[in-house]
Amino acid sequence: MDMANGRVLVVGGSSGMGLALARRCLRAGAGVIIAGRSEDRLRHACEDLGDPSSLETIAVDIAQEDQVADLFRRIGRLDHIVSTAADIEGAYELLPEIDLTAARRVVESKFYGPLLLAKHGAPVLPATGSLIFTSGIAAYRPSARGSVVAAVNAALEGLVRALAVELAPIRVNAVSPGWVDTPIWTHVAGDEKEERLGAMAKRLPVGRVGRSDDIADAIGFLMGSGFTTGTVLHVEGGHRLI
């Protein structure tokens, strides 16, 4: 990934896959802006990354259009925009127990957020730039409690294809992770996290669950691949095959 002198915005870059990507981009010589809702988490991420001069942090709620518009006015030129943000707390429930407020948070973070990032971010990207969003295996292997997340992931992939046509030659793609050991699993499985991840590792053809760096690798590929757009890159250890 040749990112020397490039500028990358990573929404959701304060933890997990986004943090791994931010670290990778910084090591490649890029200037990185990580954005998220929590100033405390952004501060901790900055410390984790060594607080380099090429790193900026900005607190923003990407579900709020005025905040997204202001974000791009503040940061100006970019080469790539990436979002790994996902607010799924409380969303994994059986149908009778689904809380609409929790469902709306999923839609806002994984669909409306990317839509607004594209709307206000595309004008600051060059023709060689890209937008990369994060879908997920739930769109292909939904669980009984995963109807909301499955539906939103599928909708996001449709949005990616449409934006790839509308915003061309800017490239628009998605990465679809499988089961990845990130903090989000605390919300999904609670105390059963290790047990569930271990059981899935035994089932997957690759013999393990994903790591944040696996997803960062995939996003790095999409950033650098000038002939890839409107595509969903599956990084799930063969999960769709089992």
CATH code (residue 180): 3.40.50.720
**Structural domain tally of the chain?**
1
Task: Please check whether residue 241 lies inside any domain of the structure.
Answer: no
Q: Quick one: tokens of 66?
A: 């005025």
**How many CB atoms neighbour CB 123 within 10 A?**
8
pTM (2 d.p.): 0.95
Q: Is residue 110 within 8 Å of 153, Cβ to Cβ? A: yes
Q: What is the mean pLDDT of residues 208-225?
A: 97
- 187 in any annotated domain: yes
**Confidence class of residue 191 from pLDDT cuts 50, 70 and 90?**
confident
Summarised one tens digit per residue, pLDDT across range 151-173 is 999 999 999 999 999 999 999 99
- Amino acid making up residue 37: R
Does 149 reside within a domain? yes
pLDDT over 80 (residue 203): yes
Query: What pLDDT sits at residue 142?
Result: 94
Write the CB contacts of 97 (distance below 8 Å, at least 6 apart in sequence): none
Angstrom distances, CA of residue 64 to CA of 26, 42, 71 = 28, 18, 11
Is 242 a domain residue?
A: no
In a domain, 1, yes or no: no
Structure tokens at 112: 């409306």
Whether residue 171 lies inside any domain: the answer is yes
Question: What domain range includes position 148?
Answer: 7-236
Alpha helix positions (H), the chain: 16-27, 39-48, 65-75, 100-107, 113-121, 147-166, 184-189, 193-203, 212-224
